[in-house]
Amino acid sequence: MASQLLEAKVMVESLRVAELQSLLSAMGKDKKGLKKDLVQRVTELLHNNFHPELFSAIQELYDHRHYTAKANSRRSQVITMLTAVEVVANHPKKSCGPVHKPEVHMIKLPFYQTLETIVAPVSLVPTFSTRPQTNYITFCLTTKQSAQIKNRQTKAGVTSVQVVLRICYTESIGVEDDQYPPNIAVLVNGHDCPVQAHYSSNKKGLEPCHPCRPINLTPFVKQITENRVAISWENIGKFYSVAVYLVKVFSSADLHAQLQKNGVQSVECCKQKVCEKLRCNPENEITTTGLQVSLICPLAKTRMSTPCRAQTCAHLQCFDAAFYLQMNERKPSWTCPVCHKPALFDTLQIDGLLSGILQCADEAVKEIEYLSNGSWRAVGKEKECSKTTDLSSLSHKNSSVVRDVVDLTQCSSDSDDGGEAMQREQIVWTHVKNERVRFSKGNVHVKL
């Protein structure tokens, strides 16, 4: 509230006398006097009682001024764009105009692989002084593009090769996220094209919420003749660019298969990471405890089948790749559920070591621990060991537990020929005079 008031005061000071007068008369106040008196009067109105309608009127006047100032500074550019709002692609002579904005790079989307650019990013230039705007783009598909769409079409008419419309900001430098302007609507050859736009409230002039997805034009696109796309939007003074691409659409299952094919981090690399972690952790030099990793996906809350994390993640804990991809297919956020840092598709890696452990470890095991000697063991409900009777003379029955310790080198080779007998070392932990003592029973063969 306080910041909103401050913001409003700054905006009021930048308004013209005529604008201040119209504000005051709309609020039923005296509009005579010098500019400083008018500013004073509007500011008092803001201070004494918060009028939402006054605030939005100030915002609107300010936005209009702000936009006009920007437009004037780049007048020559805007004028040349206005003459060529309709861009005709695949007609080299016409499309070589200044309207193409090669500096706009739309962000790479994992679920949409760009095959070809049909209309390179062009600015959505306001042509009317009113807020609602309409811009047109036209394009023709090449016979090759038409064939690509047809070849990928199923009987139900769904195609994995699509013609999509994407919109993003023109203004900032670098790669841009998709963002629709307020009140977006798209007509393709006169047909209403569905746009998935969600608004946080029904306040006017609001941009649809993230994430904005590419708009599928395919069902309305003509294969041979020219296509005309009308984009209706509301001008709030922001600069948008629009482009049309031929894309291959992937499902989360497709991406999962890609990851399994190309994104598996080798057992050796993973072990190295574990060893580095254990060395870096000074606590491990004094205690026998290692690094604990849960086998339960923090997202799905079930046992992982494809444990993965981003290359950029510092932690060992993984999450389930299939579930993570499905989640991002519904709502792309690409954020690591463990460290909450970006975990983009291109940086995802399947943990080869943990994959093997998941295959070896009993279904009941919920958590494992990496030990400083390069092995791992299951952690969980400390079960009383049936063998404790043999060793009852050495320990109190209640405090002794048995844990399975598995040599990591054994595990990786065993997981390859799956289900083979695995060497396990039965270890009995007991407490003698509050000291942890380890008794090894030697190698016992356990049939999995």
- Closest separation between CB of residue 275 and Zn ion, Å? 20
- 338 binds Zn ion, rule: CB under 5 A: yes
Q: What is the C-alpha to C-alpha distance for residues 375 and 409, in angstroms, rounded to an integer? A: 8
Q: Is the peptide bond before 181 cis (omega within 30 degrees of 0)?
A: no
Q: How is 355-409 classified by DSSP, letter by letter?
A: HHHHHHS-TT--EEEE-TTSEEEEESS-PBPGGGGTTTTTS-GGG-EEEEEEEHH
- 339 binds Zn ion, rule: CB under 5 A: yes
How many amino acids of this chain bind Zn ion (CB under 5 A)? 6
Q: How is 219-258 classified by DSSP, letter by letter?
A: GG--SSS-EEEEEEEE-SS--EEEEEEEEEE--HHHHHHH
- Closest separation between CB of residue 84 and Zn ion, Å? 16
- 321 binds Zn ion, rule: CB under 5 A: no
> Crossing angle, helix 2-13 and helix 35-48, to 10 degrees?
170
User: Nearer to Zn ion by C-beta: 334 or 429?
Assistant: 334
Measured from the Cβ of residue 415, the count of other Cβ atoms closer than 10 Å reads 20
- Closest separation between CB of residue 383 and Zn ion, Å? 32
List own/partner pairs for 34-39 with CB under 8 A and 24 or more apart: 39/12, 39/13, 39/15
Within the chain, what is the greatest distance between any pair of CA atoms? 102
> Crossing angle, helix 75-82 and helix 52-73, to 10 degrees?
90
- Closest separation between CB of residue 223 and Zn ion, Å? 12
Q: In what order do the strands lie in the sheet with 264-265?
A: 264-265, 348-351, 307-310, 319-320
- Closest separation between CB of residue 420 and Zn ion, Å? 34
Q: Which residues are bridge partners to 139 per DSSP?
A: 227
- 118 binds Zn ion, rule: CB under 5 A: no
Residue 153 DSSP label:
B
Q: What is the C-alpha to C-alpha distance for residues 110 and 152, in angstroms, rounded to an integer? A: 19
User: Nearer to Zn ion by C-beta: 79 or 314?
Assistant: 314
- Closest separation between CB of residue 228 and Zn ion, Å? 10
User: Nearer to Zn ion by C-beta: 315 or 431?
Assistant: 315
**Of residues 301-320, those binding Zn ion (CB under 5 A):** 313
User: Nearer to Zn ion by C-beta: 89 or 385?
Assistant: 89
User: Nearer to Zn ion by C-beta: 336 or 353?
Assistant: 336
**Of residues 211-230, those binding Zn ion (CB under 5 A):** 226
User: Nearer to Zn ion by C-beta: 119 or 371?
Assistant: 119
Closest by CA position to 165, among listed 98, 225, 233: 233
- Closest separation between CB of residue 78 and Zn ion, Å? 26
From the list 21-29, 41-49, 139-147, 410-418, the region that binds Zn ion by CB under 5 A is 139-147
Among 336, 408, 422, 428, binds Zn ion (CB under 5 A): 336
User: Nearer to Zn ion by C-beta: 241 or 349?
Assistant: 349
Residue 216 DSSP label:
E
From the list 7-15, 171-179, 334-342, 411-419, the region that binds Zn ion by CB under 5 A is 334-342
User: Nearer to Zn ion by C-beta: 139 or 240?
Assistant: 139
Q: What is the C-alpha to C-alpha distance for residues 115 and 244, in angstroms, rounded to an integer? A: 11
User: Nearer to Zn ion by C-beta: 335 or 410?
Assistant: 335
From the list 25-33, 267-275, 328-336, 392-400, the region that binds Zn ion by CB under 5 A is 328-336
- Closest separation between CB of residue 92 and Zn ion, Å? 12
- Closest separation between CB of residue 343 and Zn ion, Å? 6
- 140 binds Zn ion, rule: CB under 5 A: yes
In single-letter form, the type of residue at position 230 comes to: A
- Closest separation between CB of residue 44 and Zn ion, Å? 52
- 249 binds Zn ion, rule: CB under 5 A: no
User: Nearer to Zn ion by C-beta: 88 or 187?
Assistant: 88
Q: Say what the alpha-carbon torsion angle 310, 313, 315, 316 is, to the nearest 10 degrees.
A: 20
User: Nearer to Zn ion by C-beta: 347 or 359?
Assistant: 347
For 250, phi then psi, to 5°, come to: -110, 150
- 369 binds Zn ion, rule: CB under 5 A: no
Give me the count of residues in the chain: 448
- Closest separation between CB of residue 274 and Zn ion, Å? 16
Binding site for Zn ion (CB under 5 A): 140, 226, 313, 336, 338-339
